[in-house]
């Protein structure tokens, strides 16, 4: 990683980041998860051991909420990634603290709901958390554009997944919690999307390379979760998050928001990458259609 060049680029957009932080503080309202948890449903797990018959939401909804929770549990690694790739200046430190403090509430709220409502096996949940945290999350993001392309896509995808999981639960308490969590993810997405736009204005050619490198291999940060692939497949079938959603509500909106197709003044290499980026949604859509055909056949 070319630290000096990247640091200089990030310092150049600091005035924009200061304005974005102010907008975020104005837009995002504090919320308190303890007001939404159905504490009256809580019982002692020692005296009344958990049994699946006690669950009140569907297996698909439980899978979605638990997987989303385990993804949120990896916050220390996400925070470390931000600290590693961002300059040690006050504006970036300020954002890192804001983002981390808001994200930290999500896992607390989700775990409180699942345990209080008895919609998960508490022993399995804790074992999976330990396994997930031991595996960690270590992204390779060599350029600022890769970092902010990833955070933009990840926050947008997480917003959609949380919102759909809350709807699938058919439980007013879960829906309200996930509505607030998804709203936070949307605020964070708006910040990262705007930072990426600022990078594109300064250096569109280099930024396009970072966007393509990230979106072409994009994966949600959950591969270290035990049973991730099967859980992700169950969520895809339930319509919480799948390739078609990724195409329709993540890839296409991001390319439009960043005006990728209309960018000019690019190097020859960047122009080729621009074309590849515009072809990427079509490839993902083909994958989505193949998945849907296989699922329909079964």
pLDDT tens digit string along 179-202?
Answer: 999 999 999 999 999 999 999 999
pLDDT above 80: residue 221: no
Q: Specify the range with the lowest mean pLDDT, choosing from 133-142, 203-212, 255-264.
A: 133-142
CA atoms within 13 A on the CB side of 50: 17
CATH homologous superfamily of 3-241 equals Ribonucleotide Reductase, subunit A (1.10.620.20)
pLDDT by residue (tens digit) across 125-146? 999 999 999 998 888 887 899 9
| Average pLDDT over every residue of 219-225 | 81
Cβ 102 vs Cβ 30: under 8 Å = no
Predicted local confidence at residue 295, as pLDDT: 80
pLDDT at 277: 97
pLDDT at 1 over 70: no
How sure is the predictor about 104, in pLDDT bands with cuts at 50, 70 and 90? very high
In this structure, how many other beta carbons lie within 10 angstroms of the beta carbon of residue 142?
13
pLDDT band at 278 (very low <50, low <70, confident <90, very high): very high
| C-alpha dist (Å) from residue 183 to 31, 59, 106, 156, 229 | 11, 25, 11, 10, 26
- Is 220 or 249 the better-scoring residue by pLDDT? 249
pLDDT score, position 6? 85
Q: By percentage, how much of the chain surpasses pLDDT 90?
A: 85
**pTM value surpassing 0.75:** yes
């Amino acid at each position: 990683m070319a630290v000096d060049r990247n640091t200089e680029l990030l310092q150049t957009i600091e005035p924009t980041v200061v304005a974005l932080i102010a907008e975020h503080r104005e837009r995002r309202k504090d919320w308190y998860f303890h007001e939404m948890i159905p504490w009256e449903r809580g019982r002692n797990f020692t005296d009344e051991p958990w049994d699946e018959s006690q669950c009140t939401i569907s297996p698909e909804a439980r899978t979605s909420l638990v997987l989303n929770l385990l993804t949120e549990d990896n916050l220390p690694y996400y925070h470390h990634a931000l600290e590693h790739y961002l300059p040690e200046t006050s504006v970036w430190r300020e954002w890192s603290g804001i983002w981390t403090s808001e994200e930290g509430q999500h896992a607390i709220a989700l775990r409180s709901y699942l345990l209080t409502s008895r919609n998960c096996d508490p022993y399995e949940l804790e074992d999976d958390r330990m396994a997930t945290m031991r595996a960690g999350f270590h992204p390779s993001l060599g350029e600022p554009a890769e970092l902010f392309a990833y955070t933009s896509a990840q926050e947008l995808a997480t917003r959609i997944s949380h919102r759909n999981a809350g709807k699938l639960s058919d439980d007013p308490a879960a829906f309200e919690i996930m509505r607030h969590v998804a709203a936070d993810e949307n605020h964070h997405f708006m910040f990262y999307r705007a930072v990426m736009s600022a990078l594109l204005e300064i250096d569109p050619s280099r930024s396009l390379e970072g966007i393509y490198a990230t979106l072409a291999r994009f994966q949600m940060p959950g591969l270290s979760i035990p049973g991730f692939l099967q859980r992700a497949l169950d969520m895809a079938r339930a319509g919480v998050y799948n390739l078609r959603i990724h195409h329709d509500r993540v890839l296409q909106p991001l390319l439009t928001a960043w005006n990728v197709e209309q960018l000019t003044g690019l190097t020859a290499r960047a122009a080729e990458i621009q074309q590849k980026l515009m072809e990427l949604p079509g490839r993902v859509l083909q994958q989505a259609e193949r998945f849907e055909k296989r699922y329909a056949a079964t």
